[in-house]
Structure 1
Amino acid sequence: MHKALSSLGVDLSPGERGGDWRFTLGSWSEERLLVLVNSHRAGLTRRSYEPERLLHSTLPLLARGKLAVLTDARPELLPSGAPAEAVFRLAEPTDLAPAPDLPAALRALALAEPRSVPLPVWAELVAAVTGETVAAGELTEVARVHADAVLVGSLGVSFVDEAVAEVLRHQFDSAELTRVNRHMVTWLLRTSADFRHPEGWAKAGAVGLYAATGLAMHAVQAGTYEELLRDGGVVAHLPQASVMDSARSHSFIIPGNSPASDALHLWNWGVVPRSQGEWASWLHLMAWSRDDLALASSVASSGVALPWRVRWARWRLPGGFHARFLEAGRFIRLAEVRRQGRSAVAGLQKRVAGGSTDPYVTIRDVETGELVAGPWEQGEIPQEHGTELTLPTATATAPSASSGAQGSQSPERPTRLAELFGASSPPRDNSAFLLPCAPLLVGDVLVFGGDLGLLAIQAANGVDPSVLSDTFGSRRQPLSWEYSDAGPSTPVDAAPSSHSDLIALFGEEDIFEAEPEELPDELTHQGTRDLFTDFGLPDMDEGGMALLPYGDGEVELFDEVDWPDDVESVADRGPFFQIGTWMGGEIVVDGPTGHILRVPTGPDEEELAGLPAARSLESFLTMVPLWVTGLRTRALLPPGSPERGQITHWVLGALADVDAAGGEQPAWSYVLHNE
């Protein structure tokens, strides 16, 4: 992609790369033609998903304005909607079929995934196909005799004409392919200690490079890919691109909570590490962030030298979908303070509600990220905390004029919140960094913050923290843009969704129980009555939904509501008791059944028909935090983020898991689809 755009004259220098090259191509006044050959062989492996991605995603982005793109492709890779006048069908070549007397060694060579195959790998392929051991000298002789078919290079042996390998591969049945690939996965893993390297397998020679780029694709065909992903000691050596490519080749649906989904989510956010060590550090952070400590530990002990490691993480990681990931909130600025003599981080944060932004301040322990004071929303630091906080001691850098000694000043005790951030730097470009708050170095800990939350990392020995301050979380839009969707990440130890998740989103102080005497006698469903009195309703107004645990100026909790005569009736017969509003209509509970419904405002609301929103109050109060989590998560995403569309599907899928019928109520999806 870089070569194609450069040849077209697009400026891809570091200062210009962040721009949208699509506008550059679309603004040309003269016609141009870009010719790409062998597009069906894109990618580092023969099984690669890259040819399909190139034809279905990347080339349509290139062909814009007066630029036309011409490429060759296999018929099965053509996009289904390709216009007939844009496709030119050529006769199949007739002289590429391999001669029937090609030796078994060349047939085995065709089953390699990377196209350059070191002799030890070739020997193992032969053993997998034939069951016979072959010496390197014998393979060298085969290559010499068949010099018209194969080339010997610095990285190994490859076919002169890749079409020969493609035909040979089709001569194996599926059982043989599975067996050979299982053999190769086992052998590569067994011998991986031989090419272990602090910069990743790819730096350990030709066999290491083959393993780094080919192991995952062998595992896809061996049926062991998911098992491979659970081994952080292996995945840490695989390039991000190889993990993504193999994941998409394995399945169209890529589940969350794995290194594969991590790779895709980071790529789609523009986090494309420049080295294998940095990529391993990101794998470690992503696993740690969702509490997958076993995977994080295996990445850390992989033998790859991590330039930094996470100390703690309280953020919504890319791809995250859970209320726990939102608990820390959104950060605007960071500052170092002392609390009771210990280093701490003051965070200027913002709470967005009802279209307005309310600032507040929190204090967190720098070693753990634990909240130790706040939130404070007024201008002054509360008096009871005034003696706890001091600003870092400022030590003079020049001798005192009177004594010549090193001068210093006593710790200053701030009284107003604004004083905490007097020396803090303004945020960086939000589009250039994942966490745009100016980084804060406290001792050996680097703290980063932004809308996604807060986290801390520690540089490895010999790594300059100031370099990490400038590079950590920098976003570089990949030239080929988004790769593929993946499922959401959740804490691995998270309990099943329940109504108690409302506490994490709204706090216990904003959830109000109903008194038994408040319940209408006609509300006869016992489970519903118990939940109202034992747990209650949150005081919320979000996404067009308001729950009213103590009513409002116009509505009392449990007001009886008549079903409108001009609206299609529902199976439930009532009486119906109001507990809130939803896009203008009442949210009601059916007294005999406990079903939760939204009452349409009129007959013109066909798209918001009166289907039950949930089969029970328990289901409804379990669905609400999933829905609110989706809304709040989407609010954190930058415009144009592919996750904005994915969030809708994650939320609706989660709602259906709780209540299949209730999840079909269009009101749940209306805001997600239309805002």
Structure 2
Amino acid sequence: MTDRDLRTLLDDPALVLRHDRAALRARLTALPEGDGGVGREVFTQAEGVFGGADVSSAEFASWLHFAATVLGHHAYAERVAAAEPGLPWRTVWAWWRPVGAYEAEPNLSGDRSAEVYEAEGRRLVKVWALWCEETWFDLATGERRAAPAEDAAEPLDDVDPDEPWQFDCPETWEEPAAVVDGGRFLFLDARGVVLVQGNETGSSAAGSGPRGWTAPGGGGPWFMPSDAVGALSGPRDGSGPLTAGRLEHVFGNGQVVRVPAAELPEALTHAPTRALLDQVGLPHHWSAGVTSFAVDDELLGPGPDGLLRVGAFDLGHCDPGEVFVHPATGAVALRQPDGSHGPGGDAAFPLVRDLEAFVRFLEGVRRHMGACWDPYSGEEGPETFLRAMATVDAEALAEDAPGAEVWEHLFASVTELGVEGY
């Protein structure tokens, strides 16, 4: 079978479901990294989430349908359902972090909840977690909705299911967060929330219920290059260019500070820094564990030794760390008098190459939080995060770098500490 034949096979769910999974997996592993399409992305994601257990073709169709829905390949999901009308369950909608995708949301690590409400004749789902503000969805479609007025939403009780959930699925799906009419089950996980619907005609394909994850082998999840036909998003690891929209997505609407070019001080002559502040911005506030950062009320005001003010870190039980930018070189420096993290004293010391790298470090923590705290089986959350940060500015993280201890302290919020901060 040629690579072209394999891609044709993968893009046809009916052929995938008739083919031996192990043989397909082995063939996929041998494909060049840049070669593949929607079918490869969906197949590897399905096995990344559900594992390599030997299940019926109908059950695997449910896995493919879930993966395609999570990845946004809805046309492929429809073709899966058409190819296997007896699939035991289907995904109605999902707000879910794919395996191998390092994105700020959804991150439902720690305490979390998903509740169904009735509001103005519409059923809504409210999702909340420690690191996720209340987010509302239309129960029927999964579309995001504005929060209803406080007194306009009434919580709905679960309905009694015709039979308990018993299909092969991750062990974290042992009990649904809610049971709604029409044989629909709402499942909540650290990686997201999903509404699934049982299929009466496919119930005979049910497995033994929630189970442990079995490694499928092979090369793990694969994503289409961002410029490929059918690709629905940019890089999943944060390697693409920083944009205003990207920061708004990570830190929230209205939570990014930008300074119009006309309002930037003349003293700031470093062109890349001027462009970043004008076109991309800085997070107004950032936090992880017991540490946080806030932009200075006098952003770009005068600092020591001709530096300009950026903001300050609360580093825990020690002096704050004041952040400055050099107006000509764009280099970012920190002053932390008591020396708890860094050389100490009144002089500012080098922290990171420039303001873009500074923002990427803060954004990187937010992007990788979920994968560090609640990695999928087979994911290496902290290791992947640290490798990604090294590609941003390896010199700032080198053992002998002046600011290395500061970054080690900040990064420990996700690499060493749990979601509760200890």
TM-score normalized with structure 1 length? 0.46
On the 8 A contact 2:114/2:126 being kept in 1, the answer is yes
What's the counterpart of residue 254 of structure 2?
509
Alignment match, 1:652:
387
The corresponding residue for 2:296 is 550
1:560 is the counterpart of 2:303: yes
Question: CA deviation digits over 1:378-425, x for unaligned, max 9?
Answer: xxxx8x442453646999xxxxxxxxxxxxxxxxxxxxxxxxxxxxxx
SS at match of 2:92: strand
5+ unaligned residues in a row in structure 2: which ranges? Answer: 161-168, 235-239, 398-403, 418-422
Amino acid at match of 1:370: E
Secondary structure of 1:236's counterpart equals helix
Q: What is the rounded CA distance, in whole Å, between the counterparts of 2:170 and 2:200 in structure 1? A: 30
Partner of 1:165: none
Give 1:593's aligned residue.
329
TM-score with structure 2 setting the length = 0.68
Distance 1:602 1:231 in 2: 57
C-alpha contact (below 8 Å) 1:313/1:454 kept by paired residues? yes
Counterpart of 2:369 in structure 1: which amino acid? L
> Is 1:386 paired with 2:170?
no
Deviations 1:576-625 (A, max 9, x none): 64434496765432211334456795469xxxx957444xx445435543
Distance of 1:435 and 1:394 partners within structure 2: 17
Give the corresponding residue for 1:316: 97
Partner amino acid, structure 2, of 1:579: G
Residue 636 in structure 1 maps to residue 374 in structure 2: yes
* Structure 1: 5+ residue stretches without partners: 1-184, 186-218, 353-357, 375-381, 396-429, 563-573
Aligned residue for 2:18, secondary structure, equals: coil
> How far is the alpha carbon of 1:319 from its aligned partner?
3.1
Q: CA deviation at 1:433?
A: 2.0
Partner of 2:106: 326
**In structure 2, how many angstroms separate the alpha carbons of the residues matched to 1:525 and 1:390?**
54
Is 1:261 the counterpart of 2:44? The answer is: yes
**What is the CA RMSD across the aligned residues, in angstroms?**
4.6
Counterparts of 1:37-436 in structure 2, within 5 Å, are: 185=1, 219=2, 225=6, 228-250=9-31, 258-266=41-49, 270=51, 272=53, 274-303=55-84, 305-323=86-104, 325-326=105-106, 332-347=112-127, 349-352=128-131, 363-374=136-147, 384-389=149-154, 391=156, 432-434=171-173
Is the CA contact 1:310–1:456 (under 8 Å) kept in the aligned structure 2?
Answer: yes
Percent of aligned pairs with the same amino acid: 22
Does the C-alpha gap of structure 1 residues 593 and 262 become closer, same or farther in structure 2, counting only changes over 3 Å?
Answer: same
Shift of 1:369: 1.8
Residue 550 of structure 1 aligns with an amino acid whose one-letter code is D
Select 1:665's aligned residue among 391, 396, 421: 396
Distance apart, 1:476 and its partner CA: 1.8
**For 1:575 and 1:527, how far apart are their aligned partners in 2?**
16
Report what 1:130 is aligned to. Answer: none
Structure with larger Rg: 1
Between the two structures, name the one with larger relative contact order (CA 8 Å, sep ≥ 6). 2
Instruction: For residues 413-441 of structure 1, give each alpha carbon's deviation from its aligned partner in whole angstroms, at most 9, with x where no partner exists.
Output: xxxxxxxxxxxxxxxxx983247543422
Give the CA deviation at 1:271.
6.8
Q: Distance in 2 between matches of 1:612 and 1:259?
A: 38
- 8 Å contact kept, 1:264–1:485: no
Q: Answer yes or no: is the 8 Å Cα contact 2:321–2:335 preserved in 1.
A: yes
Q: Distance in 2 between matches of 1:665 and 1:579?
A: 19
8 Å Cα contact 1:596-1:612 kept in structure 2: yes
State the Cα distance separating 1:361 from its structure 2 match: 5.4
* Distance 1:285-1:560 versus aligned 2 partners, 3 A rule: same
Change (3 A) 1:435 1:590: farther
Deviation at 1:520, TM superposition (A): 4.9
Count of matched residue pairs: 371
Q: Distance in 1 between matches of 2:330 and 2:172?
A: 48
Q: Is the 8 A contact 2:116 2:155 kept in 1?
A: no
Q: CA deviation at 1:547?
A: 3.5
SS in 2 for 1:433: helix
CA distance in 2, matches of 1:435, 1:586: 47
Q: How does 1:596-611 map to 2 (within 5 A)?
A: 596=332, 601-602=341-342, 610=350
Give, as a single letter, the amino acid of the residue that structure 1 aligns with 2:387: L
1:289–1:313 contact (8 Å) kept in structure 2: yes
